[in-house]
């Protein structure tokens, strides 16, 4: 592998690695586990966890299995929602990849808190609010 191939990979992480990394980050945050604690549990450095979460480093199958055990989830959890994306890192509807959303503190908090709302009517109202705000912002951008 030539030098340019490796630098291209660093600049443009694989969308699947981005997705898995975002799901690792989300699960870790939901459980309130620090990068340091997860790293210690896995025998890694917290920098390695950061690289996994950013999609900069690919997680091996055995390491993903260990991460799933440490974060009390299934391996499949880290691939959930992946079918909704294309290989270009964009959702089928042309929207940005969920990774960008999950890498923000607001996105993570929303992802952690929204499932705790059990009343479907309230969940629908929140979704309607967010949808109307997004439509309003899109209209302002035109």
pLDDT of res. 9: 44
What are the helix (H) ranges across the chain?
A: 3-11, 15-31, 35-42, 46-54, 61-70, 98-102, 105-113, 120-141
Per residue in 11-31, pLDDT (tens digit) is: 677 888 988 998 999 899 888
- Between 140 and 47, where is the model more confident? 47
Domain residues of the chain, as ranges? 3-103, 105-142
CA distances 55 to 5, 12, 16, 99, Å, are 16, 9, 8, 9
- Between 125 and 98, where is the model more confident? 125
Token pair listed for 31:
């459980």
CATH fold label, 3-103: 434 Repressor (Amino-terminal Domain) (1.10.260)
What are the helix (H) ranges across 55-102?
A: 61-70, 98-102
């Amino acid at each position: 592998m030539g030098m340019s191939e490796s630098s291209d990979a660093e600049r443009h992480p694989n969308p699947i690695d981005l997705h898995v990394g975002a799901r690792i980050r989300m699960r870790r945050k939901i459980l309130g586990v620090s990068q340091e604690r997860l790293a210690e549990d896995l025998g890694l450095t917290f920098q390695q966890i950061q690289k996994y979460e950013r999609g900069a480093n690919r997680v091996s199958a055995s390491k993903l299995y260990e991460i799933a055990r440490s974060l009390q989830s299934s391996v499949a959890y880290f691939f959930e929602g992946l079918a909704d994306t294309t290989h270009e890192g964009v959702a089928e509807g042309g929207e940005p990849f969920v990774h960008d959303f999950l890498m923000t503190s607001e996105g993570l908090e929303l992802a952690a808190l929204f499932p705790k709302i059990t009343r479907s009517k309230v969940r629908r109202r929140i979704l309607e609010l967010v949808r109307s705000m997004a439509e309003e912002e899109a209209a302002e951008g035109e």
